[in-house]
Amino acid sequence: MTTVRARNYAGLSADERRLARRERLIEGAIRAYGELGYRNTTVKAVCEAAGLTERYFYESFANSEALLVAAFDTVSRRVFDRLEEVRKEHPGPAEERGHAVLRAYYQMLKDDPDGARLFVIEIARVGPAVDAVWGALLPQFGEVLARMMAPDSDIKPKPGELVRAGVVGGVVQIAKEWIRSGYVRSVDAVAADALKICRVLAA
């Protein structure tokens, strides 16, 4: 009886409850890091944002860096999934598709300022382990942008890793400056500026 009760509570198994708490911690971290910054956010602050006690933190994460990586991965997947969705919705000319994808990217950053700060600013220069995660993301982002500018008949990115890395750096730097300005310029204007950089991927 005790074992069954431990396994199931409110229709959820123990593993499902742990997973749900982990997801709450990730969402709490995204909010806390966005509002306070990663370096100013304590485990207690994350747990308060998640509505959980601190004893649950170490059930899912070895340390704060591990949670930062998980939160960053969550935001990254949301961004990339949305960009790929928009790319597929625009089978027309690369210029139109590029503007649509970039507009979606910057709109997401504006609509979710907490996630934007985590995705663009807070992930930088935390430590070697986190830097490795960010470094692994850059080629993925480069592929997204290369596919965005390629015709549908040739969506496999062409060689030019350094060029793609430069384009990603430019797109992200535009995002950083825009976020720091308080999103002063319109999304369309920012996307148009970023498209100027991305045009080299269509060459």
Domain range holding 56? 1-61
Do 30 and 75 belong together in one domain?
no
Question: Residue 9 forms beta bridges with which residues?
Answer: 12
> Is a pLDDT exceeding 80 seen at residue 155?
no
Do 30 and 81 belong together in one domain?
no
Mean pLDDT of 46-53: 94
| CA 156 to each of CA 28, 100, 139, 167: distance values in angstroms, whole numbers, following the listed order | 37, 19, 13, 17
Do 100 and 195 belong together in one domain?
yes
Q: How far apart are CA 41 and CA 35, in angstroms?
A: 9
What is the value of pTM for the model shown?
Answer: 0.83
Which helix (H) or strand (E) segment holds residue 12: the answer is: strand 12-13
For residues 10 and 117, the model is more confident at 117
Domain final residue pick, 61, 76, 93 = 61
Mind listing the pLDDT tens digit for each residue in 100-114? 999 999 999 999 988
Identify the CATH number of the domain in which residue 29 sits: 1.10.10.60
Q: How far apart are CA 81 and CA 85, in angstroms?
A: 6
Do 14 and 111 belong together in one domain?
no
Mean pLDDT of 64-87: 91
pLDDT at residue number 159: 52
Mean pLDDT of 62-73: 90
Do 17 and 107 belong together in one domain?
no
> Is a pLDDT exceeding 70 seen at residue 181?
yes
For residues 158 and 76, the model is more confident at 76
Mean pLDDT of 71-92: 90
Closest CA relative to residue 202, chosen from 155, 136, 141, 133: 155
Identify the CATH number of the domain in which residue 156 sits: 1.10.357.10
For residues 55 and 189, the model is more confident at 189
Do 95 and 153 belong together in one domain?
yes
Do 80 and 165 belong together in one domain?
yes
Do 52 and 83 belong together in one domain?
no
Residues 6+ apart with CB under 8 A from 93: none
Percent over 90 (pLDDT), the chain: 48
pLDDT at residue number 97: 94
User: pLDDT band at 66, cuts 50/70/90?
Assistant: very high
Domain final residue pick, 45, 61, 77 = 61
Mean pLDDT of 79-105: 92
Do 17 and 111 belong together in one domain?
no
Look up residue 93 and give its two tokens.
């000319």
Mean pLDDT of 18-23: 93
Q: Structurally, how many domains does the chain consist of?
A: 2
Do 92 and 169 belong together in one domain?
yes
Do 160 and 193 belong together in one domain?
yes
Domain final residue pick, 35, 61, 87 = 61
**Is-contact 182 159, C-beta < 8 A?**
no
**Is-contact 30 117, C-beta < 8 A?**
no
Mean pLDDT of 18-25: 94
Do 19 and 35 belong together in one domain?
yes
